[in-house]
Every structure is written in structure tokens, then in C-alpha cells.
Amino acid sequence: MALFYVARYAGPEAAGAEAEAEADGRARALLERLQCRARERQRQQQSRPQEPEEAAQTEGAASRRRRRRPRRCKGGGAPGSPQAPRSKRRREAGEEAGAESSEEAPREGSVDAEAAGPPGTPGEQPSGEARGPPAHALLLGGFGRSRAPKVQPFLPTWLAQPSCVGRNVTEDLVPIEDVPEVHPDLQRKLRAHGISSYFPVQAAVIPALLESAAQGFLVARGGYQPRDLCVSAPTGSGKTLAFVIPVVQALLQRAVCQVRALVVLPTKELAQQVSKVFNVYTDATPLRVALVTGQKSLAKEQEGLVQKTVDGFRCLADIVVATPGRLVDHVDQTPGFSLQHLRFLVIDEADRMIDSMHQSWLPRVVAAAFPGEGAKDPFALLQRRQPQVVTAASTCCPQMPLQKLLFSATLTQNPEKLQQLGLHQPWLFSTRPARGGPGDADEDADSGGKYTFPAGLSHHYVPCRLRAKPLVVLHLILHLGFSRILCFTNSRENSHRLFLLVQAFGGVTVAEFSSRYGPGQRKGILKQFEQGKIQLLISTDATARGIDVQGVQLVVNYDAPQYLRTYVHRVGRTARAGNTGQAFTLLLKVQERRFLRMLTEAGVPELERHDTPSELLQPLVPQYEEALSQLERAVKEEWRQKAA
Ligand SMILES: Nc1ncnc2c1ncn2[C@@H]1O[C@H](COP(=O)(O)OP(=O)(O)OP(=O)(O)O)[C@@H](O)[C@H]1O
């Protein structure tokens, strides 16, 4: 029963419309099942006269139940209480289930009436009779059809009031020379790669990180551990360089090669991309970068990480870029692979990495970084301890901290999720403005939405029927005439079929990207797309996050994304680094309302409707029908080969 509404912050992700609809549907199904069962039982009892013995047994069981059950309400009459007549209890069972959905109107005799009922003796009133509230009773109401109030997140101050970062990468630029903390060699490298100014997120994060690493590999003066950093900035806003530059600079002063920076990313392709950036900025320095993703055999990767010597092992990598699964393999199986000198743990695409926490890769990494803490000699010269309260004793020995750095375009605001990372005095940099403080009344109104999008990105949607989707995509591609287009579907099967169809239609150089292909093939496909040899890449969400291909002008969502975060990352493959780009989403009639609401909540500034009248599609139809029959033949042939 919904006498009390327990407000619990389930996180911004859970507040989505899909969660609402799902919960509603589940509650309805449950209610129907309960009502059906109750009717069935009633029918059985009516048709079967009770034997006196059986009746006594039932009564005995009922009285036992009564004795066991704690008395909930003085005077009885509470819904579901043993004192209430049996038929009434059955009715209430259904009502309670209905009330779970909290947005349903109370039915007759439901919680409103029960709550208003007089605290009289049980069974005083016939079950079907309506009871009016006595004049002295306090009537608890407001459980009508009104929606449950939106639970406002109660955020810790560091989440509610972040350090603000400019969101426009074309306007809030900071010239390289205005950040003198960056090493001159690195400044030269930046210029050599065409970078003359820092993007806002870089201008904010680089100095902060360099300052926290100013004491070398030991903790800052006074024994204070550096704060962990969380960075939330739009796609394509240069988050990679925001950690690459300070990490490389901090490690430049190292004397002995040890794994001091570990970057963890969700996919092989992303890890490869980030290791490339590290290679650029560590080039001509003694620092070594190792890529650990499972693309090579374990033994081959081990050769790049450690070398056996006469007196043990020698580390061969200062910076390790890894996917979580393979990283754990090396922690477990590579002799001599040590994280005891780890200074920086970078978690890129942090919200996605939090989702993969069930693999418990983080506790394994932390355990490897702080081995045998309890058994350590308290007077050892250099200590490694997890952050703790600063005392005179804890500051007497130099400490080597482990600083966590989180980056994402859709960093979660859910403190429960972030808690899993064990952050130490976290410091958030965000393009979302600070809120009025914990419990701010109008969360989305002042910030414009959940996420920020690149300024140069324009959003469109195309209403269409299911059958017409491929034709509409072909029309868009041919009509808009862009030379680099990324098209997303929701499954690899859809990607494959659309690829075969577009290929059969002709006129476009097309490729597909999904788990149908091995890592080597996928790498080749991305390279061709980057080189402009492929005009249209049809992909699953494997390329939705982080992938940085220059010059993508158009993103098409052939299948509408189910989640807001997916949309943010997919469309973020265009309009990167201050460029412009367009995103088109094909929507079926049934998807329109929910999708538009989702984007409004997301803070999409303007969403343009783009109609494709049949006169525009008509000229493509003969060629399209020919392509369809070719697709049919190709699919049959594939089935035949699979069956053979
Ligand atoms: N200061 C800069 N000036 C010009 N270009 C830059 C600058 N910083 C980064 N870039 C370029 O911007 C592009 C996007 O950068 P990056 O991949 O780091 O974005 P991101 O914020 O990590 O995006 P995502 O959230 O999608 O992963 C890259 O091609 C990068 O080379």
C-alpha cells in the first residue's frame, strides 16, 4: 500500500521513461495475476462445500498464523491484517500490488478508503460497504492519479558543485603559452601536431593534475594524498590529451622503469587509439608504452611488459594501456608484472567501466598496487598505503599515492555507483554548471539537461515506417552527399543486412563494423574509413564510444538508440574538436514520443523534424527492389553455407 512514499534516489539513469514504463507494466501484470488467482480460489471454494474437519483445520491454521503474525494496528481493520475478513484481505492483496506502481489510481476500497477507515473493531462492517471517514479522522490523501513526485538527487557537495569547464571548444580556447606549467618539450610536440591552444577541459585539468604531481611520485607536502579527479565533458572535447600531457610530464622525471600509469578502457579499438596518442607524446623520451588488449597472444604481450634477468625481472613499460579482462590476466599470470609503483590509474569512459565493475577488475588492480599492506614494516623508507586519516605517524614516512582519474562524456551523477570506485576526496570538473547545492529544487531547469553536446552538432529526426527505413537511409545518404558517414544499428544482424542491401543498391562505398569480424579485420576497416576509402560505415555500438575518426560529417541512427547515453556517444562521433556535424535518427511512429522526451531531458538544444515525402523516395524504388531481391539471395546463400 502506498501510505508512505519512500523517496530513494536511484540515479539519473533509472529515472528514464523506459524504467517508468517497465515498472508500470510489471505492476499491472502482477496485479492481473493476483486478481486472477484470487478469483480462481474464490470459485473453487464456492463450488466445494467445506468439510467440518477441514474447516476446523483451516481455522486452526488461521489462528496459528494470527498468533505468529505481529499485530500491526491497534483495533484491527488494517489492510491485510488477520482481523480483516478473508474476502476483504483477498481484495487488498490485489490492491497492494496495484499500489506498487504508485502512479495508478486507487481502486474502490483501496488504500485511501482503508486509511480513512475508523479504528473500529474488525469485521464490524460488511466487506462491500463503503465507509466514510469520521469527522475526527485525519484523512491521508493525494494518492490519486497524480504522478509520484520526481525524487531530487541529494548529491554530495563535490558532485553538486563541480569546477566549471567551458563547453564551447571554439570559443573558450587557451593559448599553449598561457599554461606555462607544461614542459617546453611537450609544448613543442603539441604545436608540431597542429595544436596551438588548449580546449577548455584541457586548460582546466592539465594544471590541476600537474600541481597534484608536483612532489614527484610522493605525496604532497604535509602528507596529504592528491585528490582523485573526475572529468565530465562533451564528446570530442579533447579529454584524451587532458590526461596524456600531465601523465607524460609527471613520469618524465622517473629514474627506473616501472609501471607508473595504467589506463583502462572498455574496448580494444579505444585502447589502441589512446596508446597511439601516448606514443606520440612519449616519442624521444625514455618512457615506454605497452598495449595490453588481447590482440596479441599473452606470451607476446608479456614480452613487452617484463624481461627476465639473472636476479629477477625488469619492467619494460612505464605506461600500460589496457582493457580490463586482459589486464587481470597479466596481474594473475605474468611473473614479474608489478603495479606496486602505480601512481596514476586513468579510467576512461568511466561510466561504462563502472558498469563492468562486476568483473571486479578494480579491486584486483588496487590489491596489486597495495600488496600485503598489513604486513609492512612501519619504519620502511617508502610506504604504500591506501588513503587514510592524516596523523603525525602517517606522515613521518614518504608515501607513494595512487591517484584515480575518471573521464567520460556521460559521467554518472549517482553517488552509489561512484562509491564503488573508492575515490579519495574527489574533485569534479564538469561542463554542467554548479547546482544550488544538495537537494536543489529544479535540477534540470538550470543546467539545460543531463548532458552537454558539442556546439557544432545539429540533431534531426526522420519519421518513417518500418518497411521504408532502408529506403529512407539510402535517400539520406544520396541526398546529403557526405563523404564520411557513420550509420548505427542496434544489432550485428541488422548491420549485416543493411550492409548487404546498400552494397547491392550500389553507388556508395560501404563497409560494416561489428563483432562478426576479428580485431585485426576491424582495425583494417577503421583505417580504411579514416583514409576516406569507405564513404558509409554501418556499425553496431562497437564504434559508438570514444572512436575518433576525423571528418565524420553525418551520423545516422538507423535504429533509434534505447538509452540516452548511447545517443550521446553515437552522435558524438561527429562535430568533434569544434567541427560541425549532423545527426539523423530514424523513428517509427511508436518510438517518437518517448525518444523526443528522452532528448528533451538530455538537454538537446533543438531537434529538427526532417520529412521524406514519397515523391522523393519513388525514383529509388525500382533499384531498391532489385537490391532487396539480391539481399534475399545473399541471405539464403549464407544460411545454406552455415547449415553445411
Ligand atoms: N587543443 C586541441 N586543439 C585541436 N585539436 C584537439 C585539441 N585537443 C584535442 N584535439 C583533437 O580533438 C579530437 C577529439 O579529442 P578526444 O578524442 O580526446 O575527445 P574526447 O573528449 O575524448 O571524446 P570522446 O568523449 O568521444 O572520447 C582529437 O582528434 C584530438 O586530436
Tens digits of per-residue pLDDT, 353-389? 998 877 789 999 999 998 765 545 555 555 666 666 6
Residue range(s) in the chain whose domain bears CATH number 3.40.50.300: 157-375+396-441, 453-643
% of the chain surpassing 90 pLDDT: 58
| CA 429 to ligand 1 centroid distance, Å | 17
| CA 241 to ligand 1 centroid distance, Å | 7
Site of grid cell 547545492: 437
Assign 588 to helix, strand or coil: coil
Supply the residue whose CA is at minimum distance from atom 9 of ligand 1.
Answer: 238
| CA 586 to ligand 1 centroid distance, Å | 28
pLDDT for res 413: 87
| Pocket mutation for ligand 1, best pick of 241, 347, 352, 543 (most atoms within 8 Å of C-beta) | 241
> Which triple of cell numbers denotes residue 421?
570506485
Average pLDDT of 526-553? 95
- The Cα 421–Cα 363 span in angstroms is 9
Site of grid cell 586548460: 203
pLDDT for res 526: 95
| For the CA of 194, the nearest atom of ligand 1 | 4
> Which triple of cell numbers denotes residue 614?
514519397
pLDDT for res 78: 36
| For the CA of 569, the nearest atom of ligand 1 | 26
| CA 486 to ligand 1 centroid distance, Å | 18
Q: Is 237 in the pocket of ligand 1 (CB under 6 A)?
A: yes
| CA 201 to ligand 1 centroid distance, Å | 10
Greatest extent of the chain over all pairs of C-alpha atoms, in Å: 97
Average pLDDT of 589-604? 91
Range from 18-27, 36-45, 65-74, 261-270 carrying the lowest mean pLDDT: 65-74
pLDDT for res 138: 63
| For the CA of 242, the nearest atom of ligand 1 | 18
Mean pLDDT of the chain: 80
| Pocket mutation for ligand 1, best pick of 237, 406, 484 (most atoms within 8 Å of C-beta) | 237
pLDDT for res 203: 97
Assign 585 to helix, strand or coil: strand
pLDDT for res 25: 73
Q: How confident is the model at residue 194 (pLDDT cuts 50, 70, 90)?
A: very high
% of the chain surpassing 70 pLDDT: 72
Q: Is 572 in the pocket of ligand 1 (CB under 6 A)?
A: yes
| CA 633 to ligand 1 centroid distance, Å | 43
| In contact, 248 and 345? CB cutoff 8 Å | no
Supply the residue whose CA is at minimum distance from atom 14 of ligand 1.
Answer: 236
Cα end-to-end span (Å), the chain = 58
- More confident site: 447 or 619: 619
Average pLDDT of 400-424? 91
pLDDT for res 233: 95
| CA 539 to ligand 1 centroid distance, Å | 21
* Model ipTM over 0.90: yes
CB neighbourhood size of 508 (10 A):
14
Q: Considering Cα of 369, then 202, then 546, then 305, what sign does the dihedral take?
A: negative
Superfamily covering domain 157-375+396-441: P-loop containing nucleotide triphosphate hydrolases (3.40.50.300)
- More confident site: 427 or 168: 427
Q: How confident is the model at residue 609 (pLDDT cuts 50, 70, 90)?
A: very high
Q: Considering Cα of 59, then 65, then 68, then 72, what sign does the dihedral take?
A: negative
Instruction: Answer whether residue 94 shows pLDDT above 90.
Output: no
Quick one: which of 223, 224, 221 has its CA closest to 395? 223
Q: How confident is the model at residue 186 (pLDDT cuts 50, 70, 90)?
A: very high
pLDDT for res 447: 42
Q: How confident is the model at residue 394 (pLDDT cuts 50, 70, 90)?
A: low
Supply the residue whose CA is at minimum distance from atom 22 of ligand 1.
Answer: 239
CA distances from 150 to 7, 82, 156, 595 (A): 9, 35, 19, 19
| In contact, 639 and 496? CB cutoff 8 Å | no
Buried b (16+ CB within 10 A) or exposed e, 365-391: bbebbbeeeeeeeeeeeebbbebeeee
| CA 237 to ligand 1 centroid distance, Å | 5
| CA 194 to ligand 1 centroid distance, Å | 12
Q: Is 198 in the pocket of ligand 1 (CB under 6 A)?
A: yes
| CA 610 to ligand 1 centroid distance, Å | 30
Q: Is 453 in the pocket of ligand 1 (CB under 6 A)?
A: no
pLDDT for res 246: 97
CATH architecture, range 453-643: 3-Layer(aba) Sandwich (3.40)
What residues contact residue 123 under an 8 Å CB cut-off, 6+ apart? 83, 84, 85
> Which triple of cell numbers denotes residue 222?
604535509
CA angle, residues 572, 577, 578, in degrees to nearest 5: 100
Name the helix (H) or strand (E) containing 348: strand 344-348
Q: Is 351 in the pocket of ligand 1 (CB under 6 A)?
A: no
Alpha helices, H only, 340-451: 350-355, 361-369, 415-419, 443-447
| For the CA of 548, the nearest atom of ligand 1 | 17
pLDDT for res 33: 86
Phi, psi of 92 (to 5 degrees): -70, -30
| In contact, 592 and 525? CB cutoff 8 Å | no
| For the CA of 273, the nearest atom of ligand 1 | 17
